[in-house]
Amino acid sequence: MVSTTHGAVRGRFERGTAVFRGIPYAAPPFGALRFRPPRPPEPWDGVRDAGAFGPTAPKPPYSEAFAPYLSDPVVPGDDCLNLNVWTPEPGPGARLPVLVWLHGGALTRGSSAVPVYDGGAFARDGVVCVSVGYRLGVEGYGLFPDAPPNPGLRDQLAALRWVHENITAFGGDPGRITLCGQSAGAISTGVLLAAPHTQGLVRRAVLQSGAPEVCDRDKVRRMVRRMATRLRIPATAEAFAGVDRDLLLRVQAEAGRLSSPVLGGPAFGIVVDGDLVPCDPLKALTEGTAARDVELLMGWTRDEYRLWLVPGGLLERIDRLGAVALAGAMARCRASHDVPRGYRALHPGAGTAEIVGQMVTDHLLRAPLHRLADARPGSSYLYEFAWPSRLPGLGACHALELGFVFGTGDTPESRKLAGEGAPRELGEAMHAAWVRFVTHGDPGWPAWNARYPVRIFDDGEPDTAYGPRDAEMALWSAASTLPQAPRTAVPRAPGAEVAAAMRRLRRSVGALRR
**Residues of 470-502 as b/e, b for ≥16 C-beta within 10 angstroms?**
eebbebbeebeeeeeeeeeebbebeeeebeebb
Q: Which of 139, 304, 401, 413 is catalytic?
A: 304
Catalytic, 347? Answer no
Catalytic, 398? Answer yes
Rounded CA gap, 177 and 214, in Å? 24
Mind giving me the DSSP string for 318-339? HHHHTHHHHHHHHHHHT--THH
Q: Which of 183, 209, 259, 508 is catalytic?
A: 183
Q: Are 244 and 251 in contact (CB under 8 A)?
A: no
Rounded CA gap, 73 and 113, in Å? 7
Q: Which of 398, 401, 414, 508 is catalytic?
A: 398
| Neighbour tally for 120: CB within 10 Å | 18
Rounded CA gap, 22 and 11, in Å? 10
Residue 47, SS3 per DSSP = strand
Rounded CA gap, 355 and 361, in Å? 10
Catalytic, 183? Answer yes
What is the 3-state secondary structure of 61-127? Answer: CCCCCCCCCCCCCCCCCCCCCEEEEEECCCCCCCCEEEEEEECCCCCCCCCCCCHHHCCHHHHHCCC
Residue among 24, 15, 89, 30 at smallest CA distance from 55:
24
Catalytic residues: 183, 304, 398
